[in-house]
Amino acid sequence: MEQRKITQYRLIQEGIDNKTLHKLRQNKNITLRTLEKICIILRCKPNDVIKFTKEK
């Protein structure tokens, strides 16, 4: 977001709600639809946004 100069406010304007932003900050699950919206807004691929790790 910083590299593309996109703020949280812009994400909210584009349809990402505060609850979802909170989940992202807490490293909690989001839907694939939300991931798609974020990638469209940021003009990136899912691998640029997420990282898969093994569960403990």
Q: Which residues contact 33 (CB under 8 A, 6 or more apart)?
A: none
Give domain limits for the chain: 8-49
pLDDT of the residue at 56: 74
| Per-residue pLDDT, 27 | 85
What is the model's pLDDT at position 25? 87
Q: Global pTM? A: 0.74
Q: Is 48 in contact with 42 (CB distance < 8 Å)?
A: yes
Report the alpha-carbon distance of residue 11 to residue 2 in Å, rounded.
12
Average pLDDT of adjacent 10-residue blocks, the chain of 56 residues:
85 90 89 92 89 79
User: pLDDT at position 37, please?
Assistant: 92
